[in-house]
Chain A
Amino acid sequence: MLVQSLILAAIHAMVPLTVTATGEILSERAGVVNIGLEGILLISAFTAVIGAEAGGPLAGLMVGLLTGALLGLIHGIIAVYFRGDQTVSGVGLNILALGVVAIGIVDRWGAAGFHRVDRAFRVQPLSTPLGAMSPMVIVTILLAALTWYLLQHTNLGLKIQACGENPAAADAAGVRVERVRMFGAIYAGALTGLAGAYLSVDWLATITENLPAGRGFIALATVVFSRLNPWLAVVGGLIFGFFDALGLIASTSQELTRIIPYQFIQMMPYVVTLLVVAGVIGRFRSPSASGQAYRRE
């Protein structure tokens, strides 16, 4: 019984990590790195609640996706056309998000720091042999499959990889490097936005000032773990998600918190992320031109 609910919780915790990581995998393959994923998760989680309360849960997910796409577009313009510093732009997004959402919650609902999403506006779960499961789990697997297919078996996928490995050669071969990279940045933003919406209008059913709680960065760790393969992002999401879920379940269990203080249980996902990134992965080579602006000679 406990094992079953733990597995289910781990699957649910996997969704935001894997969806976010899948988008970022494509973007990094194309050469754009976005460390502002945490901020995109937070802002789109917030806008998704507004969307859901206006037009139902599906509208909420769409609003989240579009919000993420818009933020990805801004980051992409800075990275691709202005040849800006991608890391700095990402940090800016993260800080901006903290301000926007803190003010937004007060402005929208009059309460500081916290708003619960009513059951009527949440994504309805499917009933499965394991128990009630969010349909977003299926969407996650589909997105990973789609992204994998796109990268490995389509012409666009080939162009994307060329832009990340050697943009000058891609350019010489007639690939429009800027457009391909913009597609990557927007794709990552959109998927992260969808994941953010899942956090607020589905899984956690709430919006707070710091809802993602580092999941944007754990998603980045998942990207590293995956070696830019979407299927491995599913595996990584499950591993990291398992400890996230363990923390969430264990901190509500009285017997456990008597033995281990809840602060240490809640610390676990971060410790595990560190250990996994340090131990399992070791060194790995990312696309040679990833994170660098392309300047035509």
Chain B
Amino acid sequence: MDPRPVEQRELEALSRRERQRQLRGTFAGLAEIVVALVIGLFVGALVMDGAGYDWKLAYEGLLIGAFGDQWAIADTLASATPLILTGLVFGLSARAGYFNIGAQGQMIVGALAAVAVGAHVSAPPVMAVTLTFLAAALAGALWALPAALLKATRGVHEVISTIMFNWIAHYTALYMVFNVLNDPRSAERTVRVLPEARLGAIIPGADMTAAIFVAVGVALFMYWLLWHSPWGYEMRIAGLNPSALRYAGASPLWSVNLTFILAGIAAGIAGATQIIGRPPTYALYGDLSNVRNLGFDGIAVALIGRNHPLGIILAAIFIGAMGAGSRMMQIMAGVPLDMVRIVHGTVIIALAAPEVWSLLGKFLSRGRARREAASTAHSKTVQR
């Protein structure tokens, strides 16, 4: 006989059940992600097959290009670096209840700031790198802030405002690249950052630099912030139930500003990683190709990583692998690089409807129940 009081036993049983339910929830979430990824790859194969490509060879190339040897793995991690950060932009904002798709613009502005500071401020190496990251983070945060203010004071939906700010950043960058930060020796890129502001390749011949540690560090910080600090608690409450936040006496204006500033910091740093943390260029290209679409890929990363900083790291490696591997896919099977975008889009659409699976389950079990009912009815008639 258990000597402990009944209440305590009941409580323990309750918490055990709660833990089991949570665990089951996590597994269901993981299963959903895996199914969505399989659907994405399947649709990708269908499209390639329809367009006359050898999809098996393409996926083989994707795998070799992403994980074939140490250089491939390093390239995968290098591609994942900015995606961890742009994924955090969306993920963090989503946790606080905002649909911030402005990572692209905030990142571009961060990249511009990184070029401006990295190319012109001379300092000892560690100092120069730190200063460049700080400038980029500040620029990203400042670019993100107006969308937050417009949301809080004028009720402007952040989807519209952040997309408009993305386009404004795009054209501002085009202007800066050709008129302010231009390099007289090269028409196709900005000035290069000073050698002391550059992060070197960890494995010679591959793109990976210490920037990956910065990205992972920011992700871990955001994790701590969201789940172990009062600020993060407020942000998550704001996301789950905005009116509860007001009843608790916290200010929604503060919450939206804080969220967008933190997101902007991550985006700005993402821009800097592409400038000072990606050999061999260490400059922004005139067609902005070294920051192209990274902000939008971050949305995919965040959704696959379930808006959780640690999930985002894993998802960024997955999407980064597709980016790094797509070059080998192009070489081996002749498939255009943009193929991976079809896979991303399909994965996201599949993730949008998690109830498909429970609906499907219900449908199947209803069918089973009906069949069982029919068979028992049948056996009854036979007995009679």
Q: Could you tell me which A residues sit within 8 Å of B by CB distance?
A: 35, 39, 74, 78, 81-89, 91-100, 102-103, 106-107, 112, 209, 213-214, 217, 220-221, 224, 261, 263-264, 266-267, 270-271, 273-274, 277-279, 281-284
Contacts and interface: CB of A to CB of B under 8 A. Distances in A.
Contacts of B355: 82-84
Contacts, number: 151
Given A82-B355, A89-B352, A103-B47, A95 B300 contact: yes
20 contacts: A82-B356, A83-B353, A88-B303, A88-B349, A92-B347, A94-B296, A95-B344, A96-B344, A99-B345, A102-B338, A103-B342, A107-B52, A112-B336, A214-B163, A263-B174, A264-B171, A266-B171, A270-B171, A278-B154, A278-B156
Nearest to B175: A263
A86 B351 CA distance: 11
A86 B355 CA distance: 13
Contacts of A263: 171-172, 174-175
A39 B348 CA distance: 14
B32 to A, nearest CB: 11
A43 to B, nearest CB: 10
A264 B356 contact: no
Nearest to B343: A99
Given A84-B354, A221-B160, A224-B160, A99 B340 contact: yes
A96 B346 contact: yes
B161 A277 contact: yes
A284 B343 CA distance: 37
B157 interface: yes
A218 to B, nearest CB: 8
A209 to B, nearest CB: 8
B22 to A, nearest CB: 21
Given A98-B341, A99-B341, A85 B352 contact: yes
A279 B156 CA distance: 9
Contacts of B204: none
B163 A88 contact: no
Closest 6 CB pairs of A and B: A96-B345, A99-B341, A84-B353, A92-B348, A92-B349, A82-B353
Given A97-B345, A217-B164, 17 more contacts: A82-B353, A87-B99, A89-B352, A93-B345, A95-B296, A95-B300, A96-B342, A100-B342, A106-B336, A261-B175, A261-B179, A271-B164, A273-B160, A274-B164, A274-B165, A278-B161, A283-B155
B296 A92 contact: no
A92 B343 CA distance: 10
A269 to B, nearest CB: 8
Q: Which of A89, A92, A93, A263 has the most CB of B within 10 A?
A: A92
A134 to B, nearest CB: 25
Contacts of B159: 35, 87, 217, 220
A221 B164 CA distance: 10
Given A92-B346, A99-B344, A270 B51 contact: no
Contact of A78 (B157, B346, B352): B352
